[in-house]
Amino acid sequence: MTTTRLTALGALTGLLLTALVLVAPAANAAWTTWGTIHGSKAQVCKVPLSGGSTRVKLRLDNRGAAHAHRISLFRDRDGSFHEVAVRAEAGAVSGVKSLVLARGDEAGVTTHEPNGGAAGDMLRLGMVARC
């Protein structure tokens, strides 16, 4: 290879590594950990929608857990209840599900144990990071 090609290759490699360093942390920073139990992390992020509604995304980071967990995101809209849930085995991260919240909806996140136990908290959108 010529010196020019080696210099160009080195510059491109440097740019690629810089881009990867700048982009990778942003993807992880989008998730807000809403609750932890036995090494699992219930994580949420939000996407503002038109009309004042918000899409809330839910995932379970179960990489630190020794057993499976399930988490759910629920919405109560004037007495009408709706829930989405994801599950992950020990050492895994779940897929993502979402739920749209309108102004005035009440919502919460619950972590479920395999034996039926559960713990949760009401969701406060002002404390949730944007996706």
CATH of the domain at 36: 2.60.40
Is 61 in the same domain as 24? Answer: no
Domain count within the chain: 2
Q: Residue 2 is which amino acid?
A: T
Q: Are 42 and 69 in a shared domain?
A: yes
Full residue range of the structural domain in which residue 10 is found: 1-30
59 and 106 together in one domain: yes
- Strand order through the sheet with 80-88: 80-88, 69-77, 106-112, 118-122
pTM of the model: 0.76
The vertex-8 CA angle with 3 and 12, nearest 5°, equals 150
Query: What digits encode the pLDDT tens for the residues 1-60?
Result: 565 554 444 444 444 343 333 334 445 559 999 999 999 999 999 999 999 999 999 999
**54 and 24: one domain?**
no
Residues in a beta bridge with 111 = 71, 119
Whether residues 15 and 65 share a domain: the answer is no
